[in-house]
Amino acid sequence: MPPNKLPHYLRTYRKRASLSEKEMAFLLGSKSAAQVSRYERYVRLPNLEKIFAYQVIFGIPPYHLFAGIIQKVEQNVQRRAQLLIAKLEKESQSRKTKRKLEFLKGLVSKISSTTPENI
């Protein structure tokens, strides 16, 4: 079953701007158009500097540009937070543990209510 969102929408926004891969590579400061093609075909992930360059070029925050990746990261963090909650709940309930649990429960509910569509 395909995921709800594509990992990223770099090709979508490039095509919307009618830019060629070569022009995109120039704007990003990449060596060649092949690098852009690799990003767009999910072969490579752009580094942080390139991600911000994409944001600057298209004016779209990474949360939307990399919607599918963010969705996956959110699911993973949520799952790990739930595991950590379960582990902490078994421990003695010190003030520090209570504070951690409060934070983690808030995190889980925040992720549940946050989807790329709602942002």
Partner 1 sequence: MSTSDIQFLRVLAIDPSPSGFGYVVIEEPSELIDFGTKTVKGDKNFESLKRIEELINYTCPHVIIVEDITKKGALRRERVRRLIRDIIKLAAGQKIKAFTVSRLEAKAIFSRSVAFNKHQIASIIAAQFPELRPYLPPPRKSWMPEDSRMSIFDAAALALTLLRLHKGKHLKDKKLH
| Binding interface with partner 1 (CB under 8 A) | 1-4, 6, 9, 11-12, 15-18, 41-42, 115, 117
The least distance separating partner 1 from the CB of residue 48, rounded to whole angstroms, comes to: 24
Q: Looking at beta carbons only, is 94 or 117 nearer to partner 1?
A: 117
Q: Looking at beta carbons only, is 3 or 106 nearer to partner 1?
A: 3
Buried b (16+ CB within 10 A) or exposed e, 28-50: bebeeeebbeebbeeeeebeeeb
The least distance separating partner 1 from the CB of residue 7, rounded to whole angstroms, comes to: 9
The least distance separating partner 1 from the CB of residue 53, rounded to whole angstroms, comes to: 21
Q: Looking at beta carbons only, is 33 or 85 nearer to partner 1?
A: 33
Q: Looking at beta carbons only, is 6 or 53 nearer to partner 1?
A: 6
The least distance separating partner 1 from the CB of residue 5, rounded to whole angstroms, comes to: 9
